[in-house]
Structure 1
Amino acid sequence: MSARLVQIIVPDTEVPRAKSVIEKHCSRYWQEAVLGGLEKFSCVVPGRAIEALIAELDANFKDSEGFSVLVLQVEAVLPEIPELEAIVPAGSGEQKPPTRLEVFFTRDRISTNELYDDIEASLELRPNYLLTVILSALIAALGMHSGQTAVVIGAMIIAPLLGPTMAMAMAATLGDSALGRHAISTLVVGIFAALAFTFLLGMFIEVNPLVPELRNRTIVHPADIALALACGAAGVLAFSRGASLSLVGVMIAVALVPPIAAAGLFFGSGDHMLGFKALFLLATNLVCINVAGIVTFLVQGLPPRNWRITSGIFLIWLLILFLFVGLVGGRIAIGSYGPINVSGDSSSVQQASPNPD
């Protein structure tokens, strides 16, 4: 069951209008007086109806003194409430019951306000954020250096880049420039912090570019593009339903943290060409995640404030993606990604085909 307990406070003079709004969205609510000439309504609302309820309340009472709304997660309700399992409230008798197909396609996500609350804390540039970014990148770098996939997965679970990555796609969907600027600045600082510390690590350890975990981060294949698109879509889908941040983080980190760490190691060891190839994989993944994220947010019913802005940003991301796909396709067409030169050795080793993972 996806439901919220919504507590609404309005002036006494607005009680009749508040009741008419609330009754459109739920059939069970409680009313009580509070100090200061205010009235509080507590109502149980289906998760899919939260967006519409909050929007209507804001439109009607945003200028009313004392007006406020508090949304809480509900774990269980007894006795059961019919509209929690239906598309429309039971009281709206003039509407036909939903068909099985309508129920199947009903969006079940948390509200835009809840998305903002979930993402806000992760955009703050604090020592905790920088420390988890650095630790995640170092763990991923050491795991790739030793060829231990399990260690790389451990780095992904830390998920430090979850917040700004999700916020970029969300800002583009909503057309929120302030959120977009905040997300980009936080993400850029995190990427540079990870690159700096893995660069230092690369200066002090021997980096073998033939290790599969490192070699695969210097190659961009159609499968990598598909992986990044899937990561973005799965991450937004889980995030919009209020899933665990760690779960979403693995989906995103799988496409961002390893190439950052690989680029830092290669730059630190003097293999600048391989470092730039890893950064190209990072850029490709970031573009794919945003393209898939915007599409998934729209499919989930996140309402853009301005369709022109949202469409324009999406087209820019899409054009960049097509450019990257063209570059990848061109390199595949000529049949070579070039040789990998092992530092400190005059010989060149022809790069083997990447592992499918």
Structure 2
Amino acid sequence: MSARLVEIIIPDADILHAKSIIREHCSRFWQEPVPDGLEKFSCVVPSRTIEPLIAQLAGNFKDTEGFSVLVLQVEAVLPEIPELEAIVPPLSGESKPPSKLELFFTRDRISTNELYDDIEASLDLRPNYLLTVVLSALIAALGMRSGQTAVVIGAMIIAPLLGPTMGMAMAATLGDSKLGRRAAITLSVGILAALISTLLLGMLIEIDPLVSELRNRTIVHPADIALALACGAAGVLAFSQGASLALVGVMIAVALVPPIAAAGLYFGSGDQMLGFKALFLLATNLVCINVAGIIMFLAQGLPPRNWRITSGVFLIWLIMLVLFISLVGGRFVLGDG
């Protein structure tokens, strides 16, 4: 079951109007008075209908003094509520069950507000963010240097770059330029911090540039592009359904942290060419994640605020992806792979 408990605070004068809106979206709700001339409605709502409920409430009461909405996760409901298993709650006595095809195409994601809440906290440039980025990169670098895949995977679990990466794809989908700028700045600072820390590490230790864990981060295969696209799509799909951030972070970090760490080690050891090749893999993966992320957010029904901005940003990412694919394909055709 995927449901939310929505608590709505409304002035007494708007009780009837609010109740009519609530009844359109859920069949079970409670009403109780609260101090200062306000009324509280507690509603059990399917997560797939949270978005239209909040939008309708905000459209009617956002400028009303005392109005507020709180959304909470629900673990279980007894007795069962019929609309939690349906695509939409029955309206005006309509009880026609959804078809199998409708059920198949149902998009059961968390609301845009919840997505914002999950991302916002990870976009702040704080010491903890920079420290986890540096530690993740150093762990990945040391794991690749010694060829220990398990250590590299351990670095992925820290996943400090998850928030800004998801933030960029979400901002492009929504057409939210402010969110996009914050995410881009946070991601850029994180990448720079990881690159500098691993560069210093590369100056202090000896590395074998032919170790497979490192060498593999200097060659972009067509399979690497497919992997990055799959990571971006799977990450957004899991993220939009409220999955564990650690799980989503591994999907994204596997495409970003190792190339950064490899580039830093190579630059630190004086091998500039291999360092730039690792950065090329990083850039390719970042473009792939954003292209796949935007497509998956749209497929999940995330509503763009400005289609002009969304389509423009997506077109830029897509052109970059085509360019990178052409470069990779051309290199393999010429036998330089």
TM-score (norm 1): 0.93
Partner Cα distance (1:174, 1:220) in 2: 30
For 1:277, the equivalent position in structure 2 comes to 277
**Where in structure 2 are the equivalents of 1:284-295 lying within 5 Å?**
284-295=284-295
Cα distance per residue 1:60-115 (max 9 Å; x no partner): 11111100000000000000000000012135433632101111211111000000
List runs of 5+ in structure 2 lacking aligned partners: none
Partner Cα distance (1:190, 1:64) in 2: 41
Partner Cα distance (2:95, 2:329) in 1: 52
SS at 2:274 equivalent: helix
1:25 aligns with 2:12: no
Q: CA deviation at 1:228?
A: 0.3
For 2:329, the equivalent position in structure 1 comes to 329
Contact 1:125 1:186 in 2 (8 A): yes
Q: How many residues align?
A: 337
Q: Which amino acid aligns with 1:270?
A: G
Q: Which amino acid aligns with 1:226?
A: A
Q: CA deviation at 1:197?
A: 0.7
Q: Please report the RMSD computed on the Cα atoms of aligned residues, expressed in angstroms.
A: 0.8
1:178 aligns with 2:184: no
1:8 aligns with 2:16: no
Q: Which amino acid aligns with 2:3?
A: A
Between 1:83-92 and 1:281-290, the stretch displaced more is 83-92
SS at 1:209 equivalent: coil
Hey, which bits of structure 1, 4+ residues long, moved more than 4 A? Answer: none
Cα distance per residue 1:129-150 (max 9 Å; x no partner): 1111000000000000001111
For 2:38, the equivalent position in structure 1 comes to 38
Partner Cα distance (2:78, 2:327) in 1: 58
List runs of 5+ in structure 1 lacking aligned partners: 338-357
TM-score (norm 2): 0.99
For 2:116, the equivalent position in structure 1 comes to 116
Partner Cα distance (1:130, 1:61) in 2: 40
For 2:59, the equivalent position in structure 1 comes to 59
Partner Cα distance (1:148, 1:200) in 2: 21
Percent sequence identity over aligned pairs: 82
Partner Cα distance (1:136, 1:226) in 2: 24
For 1:305, the equivalent position in structure 2 comes to 305
SS at 1:45 equivalent: strand
Contact 1:27 1:91 in 2 (8 A): no
For 1:255, the equivalent position in structure 2 comes to 255
Partner Cα distance (2:97, 2:59) in 1: 28
**Where in structure 2 are the equivalents of 1:69-108 lying within 5 Å?**
69-94=69-94, 96-108=96-108
